[in-house]
């Protein structure tokens, strides 16, 4: 029984990996299920057994994304500094968003989401999880005096998410962008945004 589940999980992983390769290369819209079958080395019947539609595959990718976000929001080292906590989350987010495959897939999905409400809803949900976490942390920081009380919490969380989203595939727009060189400035800017004005 467990072995069977292992096998199924492996099959699903194989399909998702193949689909991601196809979507990155050709685009979500331009990829057919036949192409995903070919890339996964699987028959259409077999693929259909796991994912009946291309949308079901995108849904699975979004759930994987949700799991990635959950890991990213798990802070092993709880620090007393609210600002440091925000910086850790933002840095992890931006690092994830700069992984080439993740970035290209995200751009593809965002473009598709603008036309496809089902895809859009799943990604809205994921974005909301991270934003709500930022809201909670910022609120805590205002209450303990570490965060500028003049900031609107909800709006600030939203602009922080805007910065992160803008970093998706940044090097496409700016080939000289290397995250490692820019991270120091990023942290400095986030600190300035959040600190109380003395």
Instruction: Give the residue, chosen from 63, 72, 135, 161, that forms a contact with a copy of itself under the rule CB under 8 A.
Output: 161
CA atoms within 13 A on the CB side of 74: 7
Query: Would you count residue 193 as binding a copy of itself (CB under 8 A)?
Result: yes
- The contacts of residue 149 (CB under 8 Å, 6+ apart) are 142, 196
Query: Would you count residue 175 as binding a copy of itself (CB under 8 A)?
Result: yes
Question: What DSSP designation does 196 have?
Answer: P
Contact predicate 42/55, CB 8 Å: no
The CA distance from 60 to 69, in Å, is 14
Query: Would you count residue 170 as binding a copy of itself (CB under 8 A)?
Result: yes
Nearest to 79 by CA among 68, 69, 89, 71: 89
The CA distance from 147 to 83, in Å, is 7
**Would you give the binding string for a copy of itself spanning residues 1-40, x where CB under 8 A is met?**
------------------------xxx-xx----------
Query: Would you count residue 65 as binding a copy of itself (CB under 8 A)?
Result: no
Query: Would you count residue 54 as binding a copy of itself (CB under 8 A)?
Result: no
Query: Would you count residue 124 as binding a copy of itself (CB under 8 A)?
Result: yes
Binding site for a copy of itself (CB under 8 A): 25-27, 29-30, 103-104, 107-108, 110-115, 120, 123-124, 127-128, 131, 148, 150-152, 155-156, 158-159, 161-170, 172-175, 177, 181-182, 184-186, 188-189, 192-193, 197-198
């Amino acid at each position: 029984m467990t072995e069977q589940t292992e096998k199924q999980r492996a099959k699903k992983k194989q399909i998702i990996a193949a689909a991601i390769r196809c979507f990155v290369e050709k685009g979500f819209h331009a990829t057919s299920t036949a192409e995903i079958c070919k890339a996964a080395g699987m028959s259409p019947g077999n693929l259909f057994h796991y994912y009946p539609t291309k949308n079901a595959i995108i849904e699975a990718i979004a759930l994987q994304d949700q799991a990635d976000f959950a890991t990213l929001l798990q802070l092993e080292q709880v620090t007393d500094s609210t600002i440091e906590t925000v910086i850790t989350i933002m840095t992890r987010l931006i690092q994830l968003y700069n992984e080439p495959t993740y970035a290209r897939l995200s751009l593809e999905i965002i473009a598709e989401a603008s036309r496809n409400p089902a895809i859009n809803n799943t990604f809205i949900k994921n974005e909301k999880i991270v934003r709500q976490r930022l809201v909670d942390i910022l609120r805590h920081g205002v209450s303990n005096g570490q965060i500028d009380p003049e900031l609107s919490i909800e709006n600030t969380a939203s602009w922080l998410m805007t910065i992160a989203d803008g970093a998706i595939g940044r090097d496409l727009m700016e080939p000289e962008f290397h995250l490692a060189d820019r991270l120091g400035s990023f942290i400095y800017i986030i600190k300035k945004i959040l600190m109380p004005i003395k």
